[in-house]
Structure 1
Amino acid sequence: MHHPPISGAPEEAPPHRAEGSVLAGVPRQDGRKAGPWHLPSDPAACRSARRALRAVLTDWELEHLAHTAELLVSELVGNALLHTDGPLRLTVERHENLRCRVEDGSRELPHRRAAAPDDEGGRGLELVHRMSTDWGVEQTADGKSVWFELD
């Protein structure tokens, strides 16, 4: 299933584009939430999510979190692309910590696993576990949300 590469901005904010991004939106008026952005169901979704995230972190003066946040968002989006169908969405929230949330259309919950040294995959959630302050999975009306926090 292929989704259009461009989506609308959150209703509370005028459109804004991170340079080279196919996503639109800016943090909402209170500076506590950006998105949700609809991501394309193709490998470009990882790049688009990183660019949108980087723009938000710059707006919020949280550039020091960019490297880790971009890596972990790429892992979550990549996992969703590999293991699920349906719409993908990215939302970034700022509370005590930064929370990045990737939603997909699958009700199947992801599992951490111990990858063998020669395995090609299976390390994504372990990276999220080790590099984030906290992380989790929540059921949604349309599937699930996998999130992580950084402080």
Structure 2
Amino acid sequence: MHHAHPPGRPEAALPHIPVGPVLGGVPRQTGRTAGPWQLPCSPAACRRARVQVRAVLAEWNLQHHTHTAELLVSELVGNALIHADGPLHLTVEHRHTLRCRVEDCSRRLPLMRSAALDDENGRGLTLVHLMSDDWGVDHTSRGKAVWFELG
């Protein structure tokens, strides 16, 4: 696990993290897992991801995380659509914290930027950094998974 650095610093690119197992839709003994769901490689992916997160959080009685989780998942999916290739997958886990993961087929690590006041883009990972309790990236057999946690 790697803690992200504030935007604008040279080390804002996350280092490589060892490849771990790709999570499936089977709950582990210590928590719950929903997904992975394949998302379309289109703008509809953000909406579909929000719908899945909202449904899972309602089922798990974690509605207090819904607004933040929906926003941050949209940011991760939007970033993957812009910067990665191939299918996207969303997984939601709850153990001690809520963790949302967006997996893509790119090994290129996300980069936090400092957006100027009039920039249209470049704030997504800053939002994730500011609004989550933790976030990071895991390398997977297909690419990477960017995740965030909410306590």
Match of 2:44 in 1: 44
Residue 124 of structure 1 pairs with residue 124 of structure 2: yes
Equivalent residue runs for 1:16-95 within 5 Å: 28=27, 32-95=32-95
CA distance in 2, matches of 1:57, 1:11: 15
Could you tell me which amino acid in structure 1 is paired with residue 51 of structure 2?
R
Higher RCO (CA-CA < 8 Å; seq separation 6+): 2
Equivalent residue number for residue 113 of structure 1: 113
Residue identity (%): 66
In structure 1, distance between residues paired with 2:58 and 2:77: 21
How big is the shift at 1:113? Answer: 1.2
Q: How many residues in Structure 1 have an aligned counterpart in Structure 2?
A: 127
User: What amino acid does structure 1 have at the position aligned with 2:35?
Assistant: G
- CA distance in structure 2 between the aligned counterparts of 1:29 and 1:139, rounded to whole angstroms: 20
Structure 1 unmatched runs, 5+: 1-9, 13-27
Residue 118 of structure 1, CA deviation: 1.1
TM-score of the pair, normalised by structure 1 = 0.80
Q: Any unmatched runs of 5+ in structure 2?
A: 1-23
The alpha carbon displacement at 1:119 in A equals: 0.9
TM-score, normalised via structure 2 length = 0.80
